[in-house]
Amino acid sequence: MKKGKIILGILIVAWLAVIWGHSMQPADVSAGESGKWLEVLSKIFPFLQGENGEHYVRKAAHFTEYAILGVLLALELAYFVKGWLRRFFEPVAFALSASFIDETIQLFVEGRSGQVSDMWIDTAGAALGILITLAIIGNRRGKRAY
């Protein structure tokens, strides 16, 4: 288990680097990346072809990045922390802190701005990732994770 915890710790740090790396991109680079995703996703989801398509893609990216972080955090703590409340709220608090840092980084990047609403989207994504992970772990153990 110790080796697994170390690997998960490394994955969490690497994933935070990915998230914060995206935040360090200037607005034009970030918009270009969103545009590429919009092009692909609008073929699958036609409603994204409207004027708000890029907005939806950007918010979905926030949610997804933090859902993945939530899964990693839940896996890190699930086997080492007792009590489902701590298993849920400790990683949510960590994700909220990471999101605060994420949005603060954007305040110092050309053309970007930190948004409190993005912090809530990020935290909701992490919470969903954590809940799903804890539910799966609970089912594998033959217990309810909620």
Distance CA 92, CA 145 (A): 16
Asked if residue 35 belongs to a domain, the reply is no
**8 contacts: CB under 8 Å, gap ≥ 6:** 72, 75, 76
Query: Confidence class of residue 142 from pLDDT cuts 50, 70 and 90?
Result: low
Q: Which pLDDT band holds residue 125 (cuts at 50, 70, 90)?
A: very high
- Residue 132 falls inside a structural domain: yes
User: What pLDDT, on the 0 to 100 scale, is given for residue 1?
Assistant: 63
24 is a domain residue: yes
Higher model confidence: residue 133 or residue 35? 133
Residue 126 lies in a domain: yes
Total-model pTM: 0.86
According to the model, what pLDDT value does residue 141 have? 63
Residue 51 forms part of a structural domain: no
Position 11 in a domain? yes
Tokens of 75: 């896996």
Is residue 49 situated within a structural domain? no
Alpha carbon distance 65, 102 (integer Å): 11
The predicted structure's pLDDT at residue 143: 56
Please give the tally of structural domains in the chain. 1
Give domain status of residue 63, yes or no. Answer: yes
- CB 9, CB 91: distance < 8 Å: no
The predicted pLDDT at position 41 comes to 82
The parent domain of residue 114 ranges over 2-29+59-140
